[in-house]
Amino acid sequence: MAGWAFIVLLVLMIAVPAFGQAFWGVVALLAKMVGVPLWLSAEGYRQFKFW
């Protein structure tokens, strides 16, 4: 079941750029709350920006 959810999420992120941006915005916010270095989350966002 989790596999299907991941596939659906992946398709949404590829098909809907705004959804992908919102997803990475949430990831960045969570990273900030947890204390992950900002450059790490920014680098992850930059790598997936081609979506």
How is the chain split into domains, by residue range?
A: 2-47
Q: What is the pLDDT of residue 51?
A: 47
* pLDDT the model gives residue 48: 60
* Residue 33: predicted pLDDT: 73
Torsion of CA 23, 28, 34, 39, to 10 degrees: 150
pLDDT tens digits, one per residue of 6-51: 788 777 777 777 777 787 788 778 777 776 655 555 666 666 655 4
Asked if 39 and 19 count as a contact pair (C-beta separation under 8 A), the reply is no
Longest dimension (CA), the chain: 33
What is the rounded CA–CA span in Å between residue 1 and residue 25? 25
| pLDDT for 4 beyond 80 | yes
Q: CA-CA distance, 38 to 13, in Å (whole number)?
A: 22
